[in-house]
Chains A and B, each alone.
Chain A
Amino acid sequence: QLQLQESGPGLVKPSETLSLTCTVSGGSISSGSYYWGWIRQPPGKGLEWIGSVFHDGSAHYNPSLKSRGTISVDTSANQFSLKVTSVTAADTAVYFCASEPLPAATTFDFWGQGTLVTVSS
């Protein structure tokens, strides 16, 4: 079965760019069998979908990010990545990556353990 693992800095300064990577094992991103998503959870709060990407690079985003988010794929490394620009304290959250099985791509079946990103100077 799939395994996903998030990695990246745990501390980002306000106004800078948050960058995270999700490494997938147990399956190939380029298989075309999944969409790949990012979800975040501010401390003590609920889940917020950030966006999802297909192996060809096509992506969909939560409009609430106001174009600050970009998700990309690196099929050679079997990874997909998230960048969020101009971060503020409101972007402090645990960030999860997850897989969305096709053809429906309507649920997240495998999740990474999550990584806490704190925005602070």
Chain B
Amino acid sequence: EIVLTQSPATLSLSPGERATLSCRASQSVTTHLAWYQQKPGQAPRLLIYATSSRATGIPARFSGSGSGTDFTLTISSLEPEDFAVYYCQQRSNWLCSFGQGTKLEIK
């Protein structure tokens, strides 16, 4: 089973700042990595799939990069609605796993 480790657990930033979230896999997931945003009381929303492709309707300030075992979600300039919990997710050999999440909070 592939374990995904996200860092930091909590990130405190101000609107307008740049956010960099990390996801490290215990073994290579090639490029089959996705990122989700979850707000309280809501279902997760797909942001990024296949490491760097934005899902439909996702603003250009969200971008993803990486390969192998190290992946990054970058939010170029934080908007007030971006403060939420972010999860990475992979599927390999038909098994799926999520990272434990990074909480992005307002500083």
Contacts and interface: CB of A to CB of B under 8 A. Distances in A.
Interface string B29-71: 0001010101000111110011000010000000000000000
B46 A63 contact: no
Contact of B90 (A48, A96, A106, A114): A106
Contacts of A47: 36, 38, 44, 87, 89, 98, 101
Contacts of B49: 106-107, 109
B91 A105 contact: yes
Contacts of A108: 34, 36, 44, 46, 89
Contacts of B99: 46
Interface of B: 1, 32, 34, 36, 38, 42-46, 49-50, 55, 87, 89-91, 94-101
